[in-house]
Structure 1
């Protein structure tokens, strides 16, 4: 058994040496450094790209978690994500240990109390893993995702240094 293992290791060593020599003879240092630089630069840009948090499933407002009545709150008419009120935060402030996204999306929601339309700023709270509580996907009057500022299926934490999505707050910023 030990002899066959030793032959296998020697075969792997010969293969590795042959492949390395072949590569060194065919590929110059400049082209290898160029390929390495391209891979590093491409890898640095990748985390800055927005990505879809919807999971590829088009969910209508009626498919929200039936037991979670907090999704019905009027401010959440365009919210897609975990409610910060269920994750240690409030309606307008992020939970401890997370920070508000530097970019946001907006929606206009109508309050049933005074029948006025309010401009709501939805801020993702960033820097911690997803809280996983109170998922709401309320897409009232949602438009296709070609206009980033009004689309809720994007990870808005992309502009923060700690790009992990945690939860979402809904702050009233004006009346309509």
Structure 2
């Protein structure tokens, strides 16, 4: 009985959609969806091995545990330097998330723009120290590739809690 009821609703919805949709329209929509799926990996989310290597000889000035430190221009979370790690390494007992948000920050010491990978360290409950929310370049959550308001730990291999955030320099912005 339930199957008949469900079948009738599905048939009615399908027939109604078929009356209002042409084959070309369906093929066009399907093609757009395929293109969207193929473009998704190009979104500005760094996925694999965000700790490739920090470029050497980056002139540093300021306190990495201060929210106004130049690398933190787009961070949102607890800074790992205050939680037992450093600006570019997770504290013991945590692991770096597999996906991350990318931003660009200007180093006042040399005037260059650097590409920064904001990684979440996952595996322990939230650190609670040195909360910093700077939103340069941030967009609303409905544009997830450009927002810093997501829990990037949820994209890790194991769904583990957020602990703190890193600001890893992964390159110099090319002009």
Cα distance in 1, alignment partners of residues 77 and 105 from structure 2 = 17
**What aligned pairs does 1:26-45 form with structure 2 within 5 A after superposition?**
none
Match of 2:72 among 66, 73, 76: 76
How far is 1:162 from its partner? 4.2
Cα distance in 1, alignment partners of residues 91 and 145 from structure 2 = 24
Q: Deviations over 1:52-98 (max 9, x none)?
A: xxxxxxxxxxxxxxxxx700000000000000000000111100000
**What does residue 136 of structure 1 align with?**
132
Is the 1:104–1:149 contact (alpha carbons within 8 Å) kept by the matching residues of 2? no
Q: Which has the larger radius of gyration?
A: 1
Cα distance in 2, alignment partners of residues 110 and 70 from structure 1 = 16
TM-score (norm 2): 0.59
Q: Deviations over 1:130-168 (max 9, x none)?
A: 000000000123222333222100000012214200000
Superposition misfits of 4+ residues, deviation over 6 angstroms: none
**What does residue 105 of structure 2 align with?**
109
Cα distance in 2, alignment partners of residues 147 and 77 from structure 1 = 19
Match of 2:166 among 146, 156, 169: 169
Cα distance in 2, alignment partners of residues 97 and 128 from structure 1 = 7
Partner SS, residue 158 of structure 1: helix
Identify unmatched segments of 5+ residues in structure 1: 1-68
Q: Which has the higher helix share?
A: 1
Identify unmatched segments of 5+ residues in structure 2: 1-64
How large is the Cα RMSD of the aligned pairs?
Answer: 1.6
TM-score (norm 1): 0.59
